[in-house]
Amino acid sequence: MRENPQDGHSFANPDEVVVRHLDLDWDVRFDRRTLDGSATLHVERVVEGAGAALRLDTRDLSIIAVELSDDGADWTQTPFTLGEADPILGAPLEVTLSEAATQVRIAYTTSPGASGVQGLEPVQTAGKMHPFMFTQSQAIHARSWIPLQDTPGVRVTYRATVRTPPALRAVMSAANDAEMPLDGEFRFEMRQPIPSYLIALAVGDLAFRSMGARTGVYAEPSVVESAAAEFNDTEAMMAATERLYGPYRWERYDLLVLPPSFPFGGMENPRLTFATPTVIAGDKSLVALVAHELAHSWSGNLVTNATWRDFWLNEGVTVYLERRILEEVFGRTRVDMEATLDRQALDEELARLEPPDQILHIDLKGRDPDDGMNQVPYLKGELFLRLLEETVGRPRFDTFLRAYFDHFAFRSITTGDFVAYLNAHLLADDADADLAETLQIDAWLEQPGLPANAPRSMSDALTRVEQQAARWASGETAATVLETSDWTTQEWLHFLKSVPETLTAGQMAEFDEAFGFTEAGNSEVAHQWLLTAIRNQYEPAYLRFETYLVGIGRRKLIKPLYDELVKTPEGRARAEAIYERARPGYHPIAVSSIDEVVRP
Ligand code: BES
Ligand code: ZN
C-alpha cells in the first residue's frame, strides 16, 4: 500500500478524500485495558468524482464493522480491508465509499498493548485507590486508539462521549467542564481544527483547582494543591505571550498532572497540557516546562508542522517563545542560565549524533519519527530563531513572528513554507540584499553541525558556579564553605556538571554530607547526581537510583541513567535487575527506548 506522498509516516490519502470532523464514542474498559466504541469520520472529497476509497491509519486496532451514511441517520455496512501491518506505520485501513457517503462509522476496540494508551493500576497512582488511563498521540500513536488520517497535515474538529467507571473523571484536549458530574459519562467538544497528534484523553480520580480567569489544574486530589501552587504563574505567562504574539485562540489553558509514569515532561494537548509530576519541585524552578507547552498554543497547535520532517518548526520556534515568556515573567538572569545549560546540552548531543541526525530538516524515511526526537530540533532550532532575532533586531522580529502566527493560523506548514514566508516578509525588504546569504539559511536547515554564526549564551551566575567548582576541585575550598546559599536549581545542575567526571569516594561523601544530593527532592538535581554516582560507583546512592528508576517513567530522566549503568558489567547487571522491576510500570514509549539499551 502506498504512503501519503506528502507525509511518509501515514497511509492516508487526504489529497483525495479528507476527514474534517470526528464523532468519538468509547467505553473505557479498565478490566480489559481497552477503549471499546466507534469513530465516525465526516469526510469531504477533494477531487470531484475521484476517491472511491478512504485510506486510514491504524495500529493494533480490532475493526468490528464499517458503515456509511449520507445523513448520519441511515447507515449501511460496507466492506473494508485492513492491510498488512508495517512495524513503524501500522496497518492501512481501506474503506470503499459510495458516491453519496459523507460519514464513515467504524466500530472498533483498541489493544491492551496500544502504543498510545497507558492504563495504570491503582498502585501506580498517587492515591492508590483508583486506576488511571491516559493517551499520548504524538508523533504517530493516535492511530493506535483511533482509526484516522494520522498526519499533522490534516486538521479535524471533534466531539466525544466517554463512559467511565463511576467516581472517575474523564478529560480531553477539548472544552472541559470541571463541574461535570461524576456520573460515568462525559461529553466533549473541540471546535478548533487540530491535527490528530493533539487528540488526547485521560481518565482517573481527578480534582480541579482554578489558578486564574482562564487557567486551572487537574490532578489527583493529593497532588492538586501543590500543583496549583507550583504553576500559579501560568496566567501571567499567558498574558505575556499574548502581548508578544497575539491572542490566545483556545479559550482556556488548563494543565493535567499525570502519575509519574508519564513518559514526557509535557505534552501540549490543546486547552489541556499534560505534564509530569516531576516538575513539581516546590520552588517553581522547573516551570519553564509550562512556558514551553503554553508556547505551543501558538507554535505547533496554531501553526503546525505538516510532516515530522518539519518537527523543528514546532519545537525550535517553541523553545524560542519559551525563552521570551520566561524573560517576561522571571527575568533575564534565569533565561541566560537556561540558555547556557542548553547550549552545553546541544554541544553534547551533536557530538553523539551521526551527521544526518544533526540536520533540522531531517530525513526520517523508513524511521520512526520518535527517533528524530533529540535536542537538535529544539535547541538548534531555537538558535536559528535567535540568530534571526539578533540579525534584524527584536522589534522587527517580534512583528514578523506575530504576523507569521496570524498568517498560518490553524494551518500545517512545511519547512519550505516557512522559508518562503521568511524570505518574503523578513528578508526581502531588507536594505542589506545579502542578508539571506550572511544568515546561511541553507546551512542552518539542511546541513549537519552548527553554523559558525550561531548565537552564544553567557550567564554570569553560571560562570561564578564554575569558579566555585574549580576552587573545590583544586582542594582550595571545602564543600561546606562554598557559597551556595542562594543557588537555584539551574546553578546546582551546572555545579554538578562542572566538577570533574571522576571523583573519589571521599569527595562523593563530602558532597552528600554537605548538600544531601542523594536525598534531593528536585527530580533534575537528583538525576544529575545519580549520573555522577553511577560514574563513580558511589554505593550509598544505589538504593536511591532503584527507587528513582522504579518511581519515575519520564524518559528524559531515566534513560540516561540506564545508558550510564550499562557501560560496566556490574552496572549492566544492576540495570537489568532494576529494569525487571520497573518495566511493567513504564509507558510503551519509554519501554521501547529503554529495551534498546537494557535488552538489545
Ligand atoms: N511535544 C513535545 C513532546 C513530544 C515530542 C512528544 C515528540 C512526542 C513526540 C513537548 O512539547 C516537549 O517538547 N516536551 C519536553 C519538555 C520541554 C520543556 C522541552 C519534554 O517532554 O521533555
Ligand atoms: Zn515542545
- The residue to mutate among 144, 150, 267, having the most atoms of ligand 1 within 8 angstroms of its beta carbon, is 267
Could you say which ligand is closest to the alpha carbon of residue 556? Answer: 1
* Per-residue confidence (pLDDT) for residue 428, from 0 to 100: 83
Strand partners, 43: 19
Catalytic, out of 293, 315, 349, 564: 293
At CA 565, angle to CA 372 and CA 536, rounded to 5?
125
Residue nearest to atom 10 of ligand 1 (CA): 267
Phi, then psi, of 347 in degrees rounded to 5: -60, -40
CA of 268 to the centre of ligand 1 (A): 8
Helix (H, G, I), strand (E, B) or coil at 190: strand
* Per-residue confidence (pLDDT) for residue 1, from 0 to 100: 55
Output the nine-digit C-alpha cell for 131. 486506576
Mean pLDDT of 299-323: 98
Closest C-alpha among 144, 141, 143, 67 to residue 101: 67
* Per-residue confidence (pLDDT) for residue 48, from 0 to 100: 78
Strand partners, 218: 208, 256
Q: Is the predicted pLDDT of residue 243 greater than 70, yes or no?
A: yes
Give the span between the Cα atoms of 303 and 55, in whole angstroms.
25
CA of 441 to the centre of ligand 2 (A): 22
Q: What is the mean pLDDT of the chain?
A: 96
CA of 468 to the centre of ligand 1 (A): 33
* Per-residue confidence (pLDDT) for residue 434, from 0 to 100: 78
Total Cβ atoms within 10 A of residue 563: 15
Which ligand 1 atom is nearest residue 378's CA? 19
The length of the chain in residues reads 600
Query: Cβ < 6 Å from ligand 1: which residues?
Result: 138-139, 264-268, 288-289, 292-293, 296, 315, 370, 373, 556
Residue nearest to atom 11 of ligand 1 (CA): 267
Phi, then psi, of 424 in degrees rounded to 5: -75, -35
Could you say which ligand is closest to the alpha carbon of residue 375? Answer: 1
Closest C-alpha among 287, 285, 278 to residue 549: 278
Catalytic, out of 218, 378, 579, 586: 378
Strand partners, 415: none
Residue nearest to atom 20 of ligand 1 (CA): 265
Mean pLDDT of 395-411: 98
Could you say which ligand is closest to the alpha carbon of residue 316? Answer: 2
Contact 406, 396 (CB under 8 A): no
Active-site residue flag, 378:
yes
* pTM of structure: 0.98
Residue nearest to atom 16 of ligand 1 (CA): 265
CA of residue 409 relative to chain centroid, distance: 21
CA of 378 to the centre of ligand 2 (A): 8
* Per-residue confidence (pLDDT) for residue 430, from 0 to 100: 64
Q: Is the predicted pLDDT of residue 553 greater than 80, yes or no?
A: yes
Q: Is the predicted pLDDT of residue 516 greater than 80, yes or no?
A: yes
Closest C-alpha among 536, 541, 535, 529 to residue 578: 541
Could you report the per-residue pLDDT of 259-273, keeping only the tens digit for each? 999 999 999 999 999
CA dihedral 389, 375, 537, 533 (to 10 degrees): 50
Query: Could you tell me if residue 57 is left (phi over 0), alpha (psi between -120 and 50 degrees) or otherwise beta?
Result: beta
Give the span between the Cα atoms of 502 and 518, in whole angstroms.
17
CA of 106 to the centre of ligand 2 (A): 32
* Per-residue confidence (pLDDT) for residue 432, from 0 to 100: 65
Which strands, in side-by-side order, build the sheet including 253-257? 207-210, 215-219, 253-257, 272-275, 266-267
Which ligand 1 atom is nearest residue 293's CA? 11
Q: Is the predicted pLDDT of residue 26 greater than 60, yes or no?
A: yes
Active-site residue flag, 501:
no
CA of 267 to the centre of ligand 2 (A): 7
Output the nine-digit C-alpha cell for 216. 486551572
CA of 296 to the centre of ligand 2 (A): 7
DSSP 63-132: EEEEEEESSSSS-EE--EEE-PPBTTTBEEEEEEPPSS--EEEEEEE--TT-TTEEEE-GGGSSSSSS-E
Q: Which helix (H) or strand (E) holds 204?
A: strand 201-204
Q: Which of 144-148, 365-369, 434-438 has the lowest mean pLDDT?
A: 434-438
Output the nine-digit C-alpha cell for 95. 474503506
Could you report the per-residue pLDDT of 81-139, keeping only the tens digit for each? 999 999 999 999 999 999 999 999 999 999 999 999 999 999 999 999 999 999 999 99
Which ligand 1 atom is nearest residue 289's CA? 18
Residue nearest to atom 1 of ligand 1 (CA): 267
* Per-residue confidence (pLDDT) for residue 4, from 0 to 100: 77
Which ligand 1 atom is nearest residue 319's CA? 19
Share of the chain above pLDDT 70, in %: 98
Contact 312, 377 (CB under 8 A): yes
Mean pLDDT of 142-155: 98
DSSP 128-162: SSS-EEEE--TTTTGGGTS-B---TT-EEEEEEEE
Residue with cell 496497518: 91
* Per-residue confidence (pLDDT) for residue 51, from 0 to 100: 58
Could you say which ligand is closest to the alpha carbon of residue 299? Answer: 2
Contact 119, 30 (CB under 8 A): yes
